[in-house]
Amino acid sequence: MFSVARKSVLRQARTQLRLSQPVTVPQYTSYSKLLSTLALLEQKDGKLSNSSLVAISAGTKLGGPITAFVAGSGAKSVAEEAAKVKGIEKIVYVENASYDRGLPENYAPLLIDNIKKGGYTHILAGHSAFGKNVMPRVAALLDSQMISDIIAIDSEDTFVRPIYAGNAILTVQSSDSTKLITVRGTAFPAPETDGGAAAIEEGSDPKAESPTEWVSEDLAKSDRPDLGSADKVVSGGRGLKSKEEFDRLIPPLADALGAAIGASRAAVDSGFADNSLQVGQTGKNVAPQLYLCAGISGAIQHLAGMKDSKVIAAINKDADAPIFQVADVGLVGDLFEKVPELTEKLKSQ
């Protein structure tokens, strides 16, 4: 245990040294001399997706130099924007509209080309829909057993990830020479987006054809904070009884708190809320400062997505609901009375 801690302290010190004095040659150990990370950044409509910066945060823990990668139309301007993010040494961009939709069939060959060119040992991406879709394909083509959804890094080859809906925590050591890893967004702090000065370089473009055609998308529009990264989340479940009641009670409470809206699977399946709002093992993982839920019993699969929240508050009429076993603050009562009352009292503060 001590040796692990000591190693990571050394590694951090090394990182600090490299960041503050880029010209000095850092004293790498023989192993970490080979360590070099490629962090996959996501862009949408020419805008950097801040949630993908978690790949940089995780890369910083590894200790070697970090190269970021971005592709699509407007990738160069995204690269210029991302160059200010602290911790990145270099950004490789590929400007080509064929990569806008992140289709894995042509994105995988693109990534592999650039991985081989750069000789990276660690490829990191956020555990987002894009990361989940493209990274395993890349891993298979590089004959590497990918590691999904890590929550901690023990050393260059040892990673920690939840299994069984977060009911067990697995530490694994990888023997693959190229390690492909997706990173749980809520497990690492976002890097500073100011003060960096990464070099920008054009990457290689194999221009593979995609047999898959992107047809359309339908994204839920919302002015509220993004569910995955919000400080506060207000979540509703089956207890809301209908979409009308969900819409009547949950958004005002979320607005009073400046919170994002989430939902349990039961609420989503019953059509109360959009699929993209589902929190849980098969939906989104959230770890806000405050997770306030009403009418959610607290099934294993739901807890998997929210039990790392700093403070959990629950309103439920069933005093024996499992949610109360994890809630820091529990209120047994009828949500149809308590939620509006809470909303009013929060607003008047």
Query: Closest distance between other proteins and the C-beta of residue 19, in Å?
Result: 30
Flag whether 265 is marked binding.
yes
Does 200 sit near other proteins (CB under 8 A)? no
As to burial, measured by CB atoms within 10 angstroms (0-12 exposed, 13-18 middle, 19+ buried), residue 341 is exposed
Residue 238 has which token pair? 């089956």
In contact, 98 and 106? CB cutoff 8 Å: yes
Does 9 sit near other proteins (CB under 8 A)? no
Range in contact with other proteins (rule: CB under 8 A) among 20-28, 67-75, 76-84, 205-213: 205-213
As to burial, measured by CB atoms within 10 angstroms (0-12 exposed, 13-18 middle, 19+ buried), residue 3 is exposed
Q: Which is nearer to other proteins, 87 or 295 (CB)?
A: 295
Site for other proteins in 114-133 (CB under 8 A): 128-130, 132-133
Q: Which is nearer to other proteins, 26 or 333 (CB)?
A: 333
Return d(Cα 40, Cα 70) in angstroms, integer: 6
Query: Closest distance between other proteins and the C-beta of residue 264, in Å?
Result: 12
Does 146 sit near other proteins (CB under 8 A)? yes
Query: Closest distance between other proteins and the C-beta of residue 25, in Å?
Result: 32
Q: Cα 79 to chain center, whole Å?
A: 20
Does 100 sit near other proteins (CB under 8 A)? no
Does 145 sit near other proteins (CB under 8 A)? yes
Q: Which is nearer to other proteins, 189 or 258 (CB)?
A: 258
Q: Cα 94 to chain center, whole Å?
A: 23
Return d(Cα 293, Cα 269) in angstroms, integer: 17
CB-based burial, 24-53: b 16+ in 10 Å, e otherwise: eebebeeebeebbbbbbbbbbeeebbbbbb
In contact, 290 and 328? CB cutoff 8 Å: no
Site for other proteins in 228-287 (CB under 8 A): 228, 232, 257, 265, 268-269, 274-276, 281-282, 284
In contact, 39 and 66? CB cutoff 8 Å: yes
Q: Which of 20, 23, 175, 320 binds other proteins (CB under 8 A)?
A: 175
Flag whether 238 is marked binding.
yes
Q: Which of 220, 243, 244, 334 binds other proteins (CB under 8 A)?
A: 220
Flag whether 72 is marked binding.
no
Does 341 sit near other proteins (CB under 8 A)? yes
Flag whether 301 is marked binding.
yes
Q: Is 24 helix (H, G, I), strand (E, B) or coil?
A: coil
Site for other proteins in 30-89 (CB under 8 A): none
Return d(Cα 275, Cα 262) in angstroms, integer: 10
Q: Which is nearer to other proteins, 177 or 204 (CB)?
A: 177
Does 338 sit near other proteins (CB under 8 A)? yes
Q: Which is nearer to other proteins, 35 or 108 (CB)?
A: 108
Measured distance between the N- and C-terminal CA atoms of the chain, rounded to whole angstroms: 47
Flag whether 88 is marked binding.
no
Flag whether 316 is marked binding.
yes
From the annotation, which residues make up the binding site for FAD? 238, 264-265, 278-282, 295-302, 316
